[in-house]
Amino acid sequence: MQVIMNKMKANVLVVGSGNISDYIISGEKDNTTIVPLRKIMQWVKNEGNLSAYDVVAFLGYDRYNIFKNIIIFFKFALYINKSKYKGSLMLFNTQGIRLGRLSSNRSSMSGFLSFDRYVLTKRTQSWIMRFVKCHSVNIIIPIVYGLKNGNFDIFMTQLSKSKEVEFPNKARNSYYFLHIQKLKEFVFNYDPLKRGLKVELFLYTKFTSMFEFFNEKYCQQCDTQLIETKYSNIYNLNKIEVIKLRLKRPVKNLLSIMWNIARKPMYADNKNECIQEIKPITKISPESNKFYSLVFLKPEEIPTSENINSL
C-alpha cells in the first residue's frame, strides 16, 4: 500500500455515485477508482485489491432500500476486517445524525416523528463502524456548497431569483458550510498518522449566518429580501397543517419503504445532471424551515469540529 508522504496524494476508492463522488474523482483519474454501492461486494470479490488504496471513501446510499444500505455496509466492514486492510475507511455522514450535539434547540421527539430514512441508515452504519478494525473516520458533513447540481446550490439559485422569501429569523441564524473543493483536498491529503485509530470529525470551512452567506456567495447583484416567517412554529404552517404533516409523514415513509422493497428499482450510473427548472419562491418547504430554525453551537463548543478552510 502506498505510504502517504508530504504533498503526495492518496489513492482513493470511492464507493457510491453522486454529485459529491463525481466531484472527488474529477481530474483524478490516476488516483481514484469509483464503484457504485450496489456493485461494491462483487467488485471486491472479483477485481478488488483494497491494499492498493490508502483511503476508502464510502459515500454510497441506495434511496430505494434502507436495508440494502445497511446490509452492504455490514458485509463491506466484514470484508475489511477479513482482508486486514491497513488503509483508512471514511464514512461520509449527514449532520442530521448529530443534531442533538450540534444545535441547542433540536427536539428529539420531532426528529423521531420525522423518521428520516437517510438519518436512520447513517446512524446504523456509524454504529457498525465501531467494529471495523482498520483506521476509520466518521466524517460528519454540514451544508455542502460549490456543486453545480447540488441541492443546496440549486436552492441558493432559487432564492436569488425570488423577490421576497419567508425565512426563520430572517436568515440571521448561523450554520456550518463546507466547500466541496476543500472536502476533496481533505480526502486526498488525509494523514492517519496524525489521528487516532477511530475518529469522528465535523468538517466545515465557514460558520456564518445564512443572510451573510447568501449575500456573499449568491446574491451580489440580486435584490432578494429574506423576511420573517408568517407562523412561529418550526414548519411555518398553521396548526391544522402541522398536525396533518406530523401524522402523514411517518405513514408516508413507511409505505415508501414497503413499496421500494416490493418493486424492482431502475438504477442509472452517474446520472446527476440537473434538468429541473429553477423558479422563484415566496417561502421554503416545511422541512427546510425546520432545519433553518435550528440554532447551531459555536465551533469551540463542538469538540469534533475542524475548520479545513486552510487546506
Residue range 241-257: average pLDDT? 79
Q: How many domains does the chain have?
A: 1
pLDDT band for position 301 (cuts 50, 70, 90): very high
3-state secondary structure of 28: coil
| Residue 254 scores a pLDDT above 80 | no
Q: How far is Cα 244 from Cα 232, in angstroms, rounded to an integer?
A: 17
Strand partners, 94: 141
Q: How far is Cα 81 from Cα 217, in angstroms, rounded to an integer?
A: 44
The answer to the question of residue 54 being in a domain is: yes
The answer to the question of residue 3 being in a domain is: no
Domain that holds residue 92: 12-262+273-307
- What's the Cα-to-Cα distance from 73 to each of 33, 52, 198, rounded to whole Å? 18, 20, 17
Per-residue model confidence (pLDDT) at position 114:
54
| Residue 74 scores a pLDDT above 50 | yes
The beta strands (E) that lie in the chain are given as: 12-15, 32-35, 55-58, 88-94, 135-141, 143-145, 164-166, 174-179, 198-204, 206-209, 225-227, 305-307
The answer to the question of residue 130 being in a domain is: yes
The answer to the question of residue 74 being in a domain is: yes
The answer to the question of residue 5 being in a domain is: no
**79-83, 110-114, 152-156, 262-266: least confidently modelled range:** 110-114
Full-model pTM: 0.89
Q: Express as a percent the part of the chain with pLDDT over 70.
A: 88
The answer to the question of residue 222 being in a domain is: yes
Strand partners, 202: 140, 305
The answer to the question of residue 129 being in a domain is: yes
123-134 pLDDT per residue, tens = 999 999 999 999
| Residue 298 scores a pLDDT above 80 | yes
Question: How buried is 239 (Cβ within 10 angstroms: 0-12 exposed, 13-18 middle, 19+ buried)?
Answer: exposed
pLDDT band for position 261 (cuts 50, 70, 90): low
Q: What is the DSSP string of 242-268?
A: HHHHHHHHHHHHHHHHHHHHHS-----
Comparing CA positions, the residue from 245, 240, 251 lying closest to residue 290 is: 245
The answer to the question of residue 2 being in a domain is: no
| Residue 115 scores a pLDDT above 70 | no
Tell me 11's DSSP state.
P
Tell me 285's DSSP state.
-
Residue type, 126: S
pLDDT band for position 48 (cuts 50, 70, 90): confident
Per-residue model confidence (pLDDT) at position 260:
66
Residue type, 223: D
| Residue 275 scores a pLDDT above 70 | no
Residue range 108-114: average pLDDT? 46
Residue range 30-46: average pLDDT? 93
Tell me 171's DSSP state.
G
CATH number for the domain spanning 64: value is 3.40.50.720
Residue 174 Cα to chain centre, angstroms: 18
| Residue 262 scores a pLDDT above 70 | no
Phi, psi of 198, rounded to the nearest 5 degrees: -125, 120
